[in-house]
Amino acid sequence: MDQTRNSVPTSGETQPSTPDVPLHRSKRIWDNKKKREHIAKTHCSHCGKRGQGPLQTCSHCKAVRYCDKDCQRADFRGGHKDECTTFARPPTTMAFQSEPDPEERFPLHPLFAHGHDDNVGCWATIDGRIDGELESLMDTLDPEGLHAGYVNTLAGTPASASYQIIRDNRAYGRTLLTLRILVQNRRKDKSSILVIPRAALGVAKDPWTKKPRLRITQYNTLELLQATPPGHIVSNYDAGNMHLKKGDFAVFQLQFRVGDDDTILNDWQALDAIESISIPWAPWDNATPPAFTALGLPSLHRAPLVQFAGAEGRLLCAPFDHTAVHAYFADFIKNGQDAFVRSHFEASSAVLLTGINDSMFTMADRLLKRIADEGRTDMLLERLNACGRSDIVERMMQ
């Protein structure tokens, strides 16, 4: 697993065996979140009384619970009606932790964008590396498939073609902004919708697989595995299509090619360059093929290819809050990467990252020595040049 990715357990079902930050911090966040989740499920959002078990949730937002109808009606009149219709807060889920842990200064998933229209809403946050750097095309959204991804990239395609792809797409460069986006259906007419994030403007396409760089990570409280989606959930992992009934929500990971590996290298710089994100969706009759439904989606630069009367495709726009971005990344902007990691993920995380980087340099030195001892330095330099990494060649020749 990529030790630099920013993640802790995302659902109430299983705890990961290999946390991406020091174990004690990950476990503390997990335990505290589970306690808050348990309290939220068993305590009335209006009167605060504790029930014998999980209480009935609001069927629209799944963010509040009530011990009886009287409390539900009282809270609805007291302000929840406006909160629910304006998507004031996301549903309660481990997959989107927008509130900081009591012992943390910052939330795991800070809210940077929020929008709603026609009773469909979304929230967006970053979901990349803990050091705040952008990711590369050589990385993968599926940590468990990282090794297989590298093997497929470097060995699955004929070497010359693979080097050409790496060179043409600057695949090693830090260019990808990874966003975590939660989309929820709160339509009052109880109609289903189809969310098609692959059609969002700017989603990166993998140059090897030709598929969009996205992943569906969560459906309501169920954490989804990329290779084995549950049969009762209508979804398409390659296209990122997701069917949501009233009250349902899904969490997506999307990657956008925003960076240039030069002036835009970090998450905050990439977020500064974006005004908003638009998520395509459409009302769905549970029968029309998703590929045909996608033809009715508008984009920012053209009208829909097909018009569906009464079920027109929509663009859900969520503007970025750049003030919130600068507040979250203030330590990085003012004092650099190490200060950011120490303030957001503890000093031990900065030590861990330093250790990982040192280990990588040590491994690289050993590899280069072995290549030199075997007389294959010229072949290495040739392949680095073929991949477009003449910068590394120049440093090695100094």
Q: Which domain holds residue 159?
A: 125-335
pLDDT in tens, 123-182: 999 998 888 999 998 888 876 666 666 656 555 556 666 778 888 888 888 999 999 999
Looking at the structure, tell me whether residues 323 and 352 fall in a common domain: no
Question: Which band of pLDDT confidence, cut at 50, 70 and 90, is reported for residue 120?
Answer: very high
Looking at the structure, tell me whether residues 357 and 238 fall in a common domain: no
Looking at the structure, tell me whether residues 261 and 226 fall in a common domain: yes
Looking at the structure, tell me whether residues 241 and 369 fall in a common domain: no
| 26 assigned to some structural domain | no
Looking at the structure, tell me whether residues 193 and 223 fall in a common domain: yes
Q: Tell whether the model's pLDDT for residue 322 goes beyond 90.
A: yes
What is the DSSP pairing of strand 235-236 with strand 56-57? Answer: unpaired
| 44 assigned to some structural domain | no
Give the separation between CA 261 and CA 284, rounded to whole angstroms.
40
| 143 assigned to some structural domain | yes
| 89 assigned to some structural domain | no
What is the DSSP pairing of strand 235-236 with strand 192-195? Answer: unpaired
Mean pLDDT, the chain, rounded, equals 78
Please name the amino acid found at residue 320. F
> What letters, b where the CB count within 10 A reaches 16 and e where it falls short, cover 355-384?
eeeeeeeeeeeeeeeeeeeeeeeeebbeeb
| 391 assigned to some structural domain | yes
Residues above pLDDT 70, as percent of the chain = 67
Lowest mean pLDDT among 137-151, 299-313, 340-354: 299-313
Q: Tell whether the model's pLDDT for residue 269 goes beyond 80.
A: yes
- pLDDT of 332 reads 93
| 314 assigned to some structural domain | yes
Give the end of a domain, one of 286, 311, 335.
Answer: 335
Q: Tell whether the model's pLDDT for residue 335 goes beyond 90.
A: yes
Looking at the structure, tell me whether residues 264 and 293 fall in a common domain: yes
Total domains in the chain come to 2
- Specify the pTM: 0.78
